């Protein structure tokens, strides 16, 4: 039998284990042209919370009673498709199942000799590519400018900040614990870091940490931290709206200070960024990230959780900030 994780209910507020259902199905058998995949590494990411709502977005919502899915590295354990060989590894948007079949569409082979398999879910995968392309396509930080990053100890934020340093920016990070603040400065090399949980006035704290104002704000959190960042943006500032984790678990539409007069006053750009809009740029982005890795200019952290049955818990823990860097479940 084959283990499967279904969406049991659409979460109201913060997701809980009650929203997930473990079930079993008959072991899948590949047909001609298909491959049988064994799940090895599962990426859990904040954006999946959005897919649990019954709302149109950039990807279709999950359906109640159906398996969930996310970025997964799987091993080809049987192949009836001439393009794949047994023993190869693939990366793709796959279902939360121990085994599944695929016709190969949308899967990319990954080379475990070039980088650890898990890296293809993190720094060389959508996580790293999100940081890179969010900056390249929208933020456009330049040497000498100030880059502010929220969720800075997280998977995407820690890479975005390091890229800012490579470019020659003053880089300031925002995170939610002293340990994360230390990590941002010591491990990831940010110039300064702010603990939003112990800071009374974020607007003032950002002003102090960014004496020349903020030119680019890479936002992973939204909400009041975004408000405080906007209040510090320079003329021609750019906000990469990459995520809004502070709002994902809200049931009602959250309100806040209106942004339009601020945008007009300083000719500020805010733009929603979804990495899937830039699929054609993934190759060069991955190559640049791999080069920087090789040159020791980029480092990353992972939090790994063992066991297929712990996928939902690992996902839920993201909203408690329990992960250090990329959260990956090892099956």
- Residue ranges binding a copy of itself (CB under 8 A): 50, 55-58, 219, 222-223, 226, 235-236, 241-244, 247-248, 253-274, 277
β-bridge pairing 192-195 and 302-306: unpaired
Closest separation between CB of residue 57 and a copy of itself, Å? 5
Q: Which residues contact 179 (CB under 8 A, 6 or more apart)?
A: none
Please, which residue, 190 or 273, has the CB nearer to a copy of itself? 273
Please, which residue, 278 or 308, has the CB nearer to a copy of itself? 278
Closest separation between CB of residue 236 and a copy of itself, Å? 8
3-class DSSP state for residue 319? coil
Closest separation between CB of residue 264 and a copy of itself, Å? 4
Closest separation between CB of residue 118 and a copy of itself, Å? 26
Do residues 20 and 6 lie in contact, with contact meaning Cβ atoms separated by under 8 Å?
Answer: yes
Please, which residue, 56 or 320, has the CB nearer to a copy of itself? 56
Please, which residue, 68 or 233, has the CB nearer to a copy of itself? 233
Helix (H) or strand (E) holding 294: helix 282-294
Closest separation between CB of residue 266 and a copy of itself, Å? 6
Closest separation between CB of residue 131 and a copy of itself, Å? 15
Closest separation between CB of residue 140 and a copy of itself, Å? 13
The pair of structure tokens assigned to 160 is 């975005």
Please, which residue, 12 or 29, has the CB nearer to a copy of itself? 12
The pair of structure tokens assigned to 214 is 């903020």
Alpha helix ranges (H) inside 67-201: 126-134, 155-167, 178-186
Please, which residue, 244 or 316, has the CB nearer to a copy of itself? 244
Crossing angle (nearest 10°) for helices 202-209 and 223-230 = 50
Judged on CB neighbours under 10 Å (0-12, 13-18, 19+), 64 is: middle
Closest separation between CB of residue 230 and a copy of itself, Å? 10
Q: Which residues contact 182 (CB under 8 A, 6 or more apart)?
A: 193
Please, which residue, 270 or 305, has the CB nearer to a copy of itself? 270
Please, which residue, 107 or 155, has the CB nearer to a copy of itself? 155
CA 225 distance to own-chain centroid: 18
Strand partners, 38: 75, 99
Sign of CA dihedral 211, 213, 218, 223: positive
Q: Please give the DSSP secondary-structure letter assigned to residue 264.
A: H
């Amino acid at each position: 039998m084959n283990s499967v994780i279904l969406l049991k209910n659409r979460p109201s507020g913060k997701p809980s284990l009650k929203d997930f259902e473990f079930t079993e199905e008959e072991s899948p058998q590949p047909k001609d042209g298909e491959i049988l995949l064994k799940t090895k590494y599962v990426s859990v990411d904040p954006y999946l919370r959005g897919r649990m709502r019954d709302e149109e977005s950039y990807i279709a919502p999950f359906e109640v009673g159906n398996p969930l899915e996310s970025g997964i590295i799987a091993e080809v354990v049987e192949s009836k498709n001439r393009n794949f060989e047994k023993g190869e590894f693939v990366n793709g948007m796959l279902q939360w199942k121990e085994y599944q079949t695929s016709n190969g569409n949308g899967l990319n082979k990954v080379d475990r000799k070039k980088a650890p398999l898990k890296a293809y879910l993190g720094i060389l995968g959508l996580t790293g590519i999100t940081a890179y392309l969010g900056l390249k396509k929208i933020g456009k930080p330049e040497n000498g400018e100030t880059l502010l990053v929220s969720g800075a100890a997280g998977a995407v934020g820690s890479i975005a900040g390091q890229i800012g340093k490579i470019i020659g920016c003053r880089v300031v990070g925002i995170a939610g614990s002293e340990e994360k603040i230390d990590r941002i400065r010591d491990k990831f090399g940010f110039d300064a870091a702010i603990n939003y949980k112990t800071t009374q006035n974020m607007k003032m704290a950002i002003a102090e940490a960014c004496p020349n104002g903020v030119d680019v704000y890479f936002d992973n959190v939204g909400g009041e931290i975004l408000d405080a960042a906007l209040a510090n943006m320079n003329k021609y500032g750019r906000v990469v709206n990459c995520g809004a984790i502070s709002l994902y678990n809200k049931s009602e539409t959250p309100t806040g200070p209106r942004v339009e007069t601020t945008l007009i006053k300083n000719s500020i750009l805010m733009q929603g960024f979804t990495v899937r809009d830039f699929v054609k740029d993934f190759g060069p982005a991955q190559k640049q990230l791999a080069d920087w890795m090789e040159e020791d200019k980029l480092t990353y952290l992972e939090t790994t959780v063992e066991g297929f049955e712990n996928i939902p818990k690992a996902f839920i823990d993201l909203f408690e900030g329990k992960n250090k860097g990329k959260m990956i479940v090892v099956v």
